[in-house]
Amino acid sequence: MKRYDAESGPHSDMSDSPYTYTVIRSDEANAFVLPGNHVFVLTGLFRYCHNEDELASILGHEMAHNIARHAGERISDSLVMTMLSRLTLLIDPSGFLFSIFVPAQTLLYSLPHSREHEVEADKIGLVLASEACYDPRSAKQVFSRMKDDTERGSGRNNAPPPEFISTHPGYDTRLNHFDEWMPDAMERFYEDGGMKCRNIRDEMTRARRLAAAKADLNQ
């Protein structure tokens, strides 16, 4: 994870604050980022992330939320919506207008805006991964597995709601976007005739072998 940060950092216009990565033991398949560049990965996600490239696609998505300052946008939106909701009570003290405004703004503004953030993070994350020489096609593989798991029924208890009432785009929407963005991502991945990433990925392979050998010695 730290190496991913080092490789992607120079290309991504990140803040000067270093990223921290915490793995949480949980059956839930999820990851999230907090302000201050703190990324958390739940171990349930490894059911769908099977290698370093696929994990990098998830890390890129979470890092992208901070790069795009989505948390700040959500806070600003929340303040504006709070002010507007209070204004409805001034206009209509009975609360009837308020009872209409709150669900309407959630359905027509907050949820669509949240989905836009997720789409933007998907796109930026794909750029980060490809610039850091992780295979951008891996992002689509992760979400394809999630979709297949849901459709088979093994993810029945965590089945996503319909897209229009969800904070996240549906799997089909995300996969279609990946197809749309993939040519640009692959062009970045194969920049300089692929020499840059070929050398870096060779170093990755050597690092994994050394880590595995060290782990065997410590057993």
- 164 with 216: CB under 8 angstroms? no
> What are the pLDDT digits (tens) for 157-210?
556 788 999 999 999 999 999 999 999 999 999 998 889 899 999 998 998 899
> What are the pLDDT digits (tens) for 27-76?
999 999 998 899 999 999 999 999 999 999 999 999 999 999 999 999 99
Predicted pLDDT at 152: 84
The one-letter amino acid at 194: G
CB-based contacts of 133: which residues, under 8 Å, 6+ apart?
A: 7, 189, 196, 197, 200, 201, 204
The residue count for the chain: 219
- How many degrees, rounded to 5, is the angle at CA 17 between CA 12 and CA 20? 90
CB-based contacts of 15: which residues, under 8 Å, 6+ apart?
A: 37, 66
Q: Which of 7, 52, 54, 62 is catalytic?
A: 62
Confidence class for position 151, pLDDT limits 50, 70, 90: confident
**pLDDT above 50 (res 12):** no
How far is Cα of residue 199 from the mean position of the Cα atoms in its chain? 27
- 1 with 63: CB under 8 angstroms? no
Share of the chain above pLDDT 90, in %: 76
| 203 noted as active-site residue | no
pTM score, two decimals? 0.85
Helices (H) and strands (E) in the chain, counts: 8, 3
Predicted pLDDT at 216: 86
Token pair belonging to 205: 């392979």
